[in-house]
């Protein structure tokens, strides 16, 4: 794992396959993950919004990580989404993800409650302190209602396990400054900004 590309360059936010009866399909998930890696993904993001995380149970989230880890082996980076509106719940999910074999945590801001920046900082630090896994801060104010401000990200970058940002802020100026001034790796979460963010060092 390098500072510049802690999880590789191209990560795929994977859907979560289900059976016709509505249950989790671990075999289908493993097959899909293997195919994505074969087609060029450096790593896989599980339990994100694309992966139906708002509607899957905690047990299903952990089972998905275990199934994909078994399918792709130990060398493919697996990130898993753990962000919720409740710090305690997020910490529980983070610990379960670590036990299930995840390599990193994708942590969105608490949604709906729109906490102030000091509370956001405390939330991310609490999650980062809860496990030994690296943390990717997911800055997506259009979904959560709260921007992770650049000053907050600068402070979070001082934590040894907060290593990256998945950026959906649409603020290329701030992203460029943070790429230049912090060790945070930047991953584009908005396809239309892939090229400009890459040009800035993301």
Q: Which residues are catalytic?
A: 138, 166
**Beta pairing, strands 78-81 & 104-108:** parallel
Taking the mean position of all CA atoms in its chain, how far away is CA 34?
19
CB 44 within 8 A of CB 79: yes
Cα–Cα distance for residue pair 87/85, rounded to 1 Å: 7
Cα–Cα distance for residue pair 7/134, rounded to 1 Å: 10
Which helix or strand (DSSP H or E) is residue 194 part of? helix 194-200
Closest CA to 117 of 156, 90, 88, 157: 156
First to last CA, the chain: 16
Region of 15 on the Ramachandran plot (φ > 0 left; ψ -120 to 50 alpha; else beta): beta
CA angle 5, 184, 72 (to 5 degrees): 35
């Amino acid at each position: 794992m390098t500072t510049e590309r802690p999880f590789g360059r191209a990560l795929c936010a994977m859907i979560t396959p289900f059976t016709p009866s509505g249950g989790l399909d671990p075999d289908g998930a493993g097959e899909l993950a293997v195919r994505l890696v074969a087609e060029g993904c450096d790593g896989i993001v599980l339990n994100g919004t694309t992966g139906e995380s708002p509607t899957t149970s905690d047990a299903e989230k952990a089972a998905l990580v275990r199934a994909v880890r078994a399918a792709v082996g130990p060398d493919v980076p697996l990130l898993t989404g753990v962000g919720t509106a409740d710090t305690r719940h997020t910490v529980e999910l983070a610990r379960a993800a670590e036990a299930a074999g995840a390599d990193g945590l994708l942590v969105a801001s608490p949604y709906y409650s729109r906490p102030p920046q000091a509370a956001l900082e405390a939330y991310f630090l609490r999650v980062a302190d809860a496990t030994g896994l690296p943390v990717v801060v997911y800055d997506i104010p259009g979904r959560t209602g709260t921007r992770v401000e650049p000053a907050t990200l600068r402070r979070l970058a001082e934590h040894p396990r907060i290593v990256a940002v998945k950026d959906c802020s649409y603020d290329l100026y701030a992203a460029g400054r943070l790429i230049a001034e912090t060790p945070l790796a930047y991953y584009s979460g908005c396809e239309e900004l892939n090229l400009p963010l890459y040009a800035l060092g993301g």
